[in-house]
Amino acid sequence: MKFALGIEYDGSQFAGWQMQKHGTRTVQECVEKALSSVANQPVQVVCAGRTDTGVHATGQVVHFECDAVRDEKAWVMGVNTQLPDDVASVWAKSVADDFSARFSATARQYRYIILNRTARPAILNKKVTWKHGEFNVEAMHQAAQALIGEQDFSAFRSSACQAEHANRNMHWVKVSRQGDYIYIDIEANAFLHHMVRNIVGSLMMIGQNVEPVLWMADLLRGKDRNAAGPTAPADGLYLVKVTYPQETAIDPSVILPSFS
């Protein structure tokens, strides 16, 4: 049988999602170990999006196959007894044989959180990105609208990116403020390596009035990563939702981290 599983995790103590040869702690390793324990057989998972070191998730989705007869409750409650405190199974669902957590997905949504105040965070250390000084959030939102549509995002692509091409379809972007917190919400069909963090790094330069609003459109046209802003820290980034076709009957509610 094949199952889909909703996973959330605090990524601050992980070397990213993907299993690594040199034995560093990864989310995938923890999830597969817990599932294998409950299934009493080796279980491997495929995720919707491979998050990087330090990146969090409230809406990660994985799929796995196994012969063990377990109900959906066991894949949630039972698996959680085997997971560390910074990872949790949120929901489970039986899916069709042709379902893929990665390839069946039609959209991914991320939220980036900036704590904009003079004092650094204590409780939310590694959960948000701290930036002091004034930010023009309206300018950031206006600049971000240039990203919408199917475009070449080479300007925001990591040099380590292994994607065949840099074309992605950006569905929408919103930059907003609530109290001391600036939220950058962004959805696309898929993302390149470090794409969200590279976009945020450039938006922060616009928000701090280092660059004008029209700079974002210029970066897209130029397709030069070296011309864009720095890569924003991983601390403030969350994978919050993965969208699938209606026929999969998978409709996890978006869970947006909010601290205001």
Write out the catalytic residue numbers: 52
Residue with tokens 């799929």: 63
Write down the H helix ranges in 148-254. Answer: 195-207, 215-222
What is d(CA 233, CA 259) in angstroms, rounded to the nearest whole number? Answer: 18
Strands 56-65 and 2-9: antiparallel
What is d(CA 69, CA 156) in angstroms, rounded to the nearest whole number? Answer: 45
Strands 237-243 and 107-115: antiparallel
What is d(CA 151, CA 228) in angstroms, rounded to the nearest whole number? Answer: 16
**Residue 124: closest CA among 240, 8, 9, 236:** 236
Q: How far is CA 57 from CA 25, 81, 202, 236, in A?
A: 16, 19, 23, 11
Write down the H helix ranges in 87-244. Answer: 137-144, 195-207, 215-222
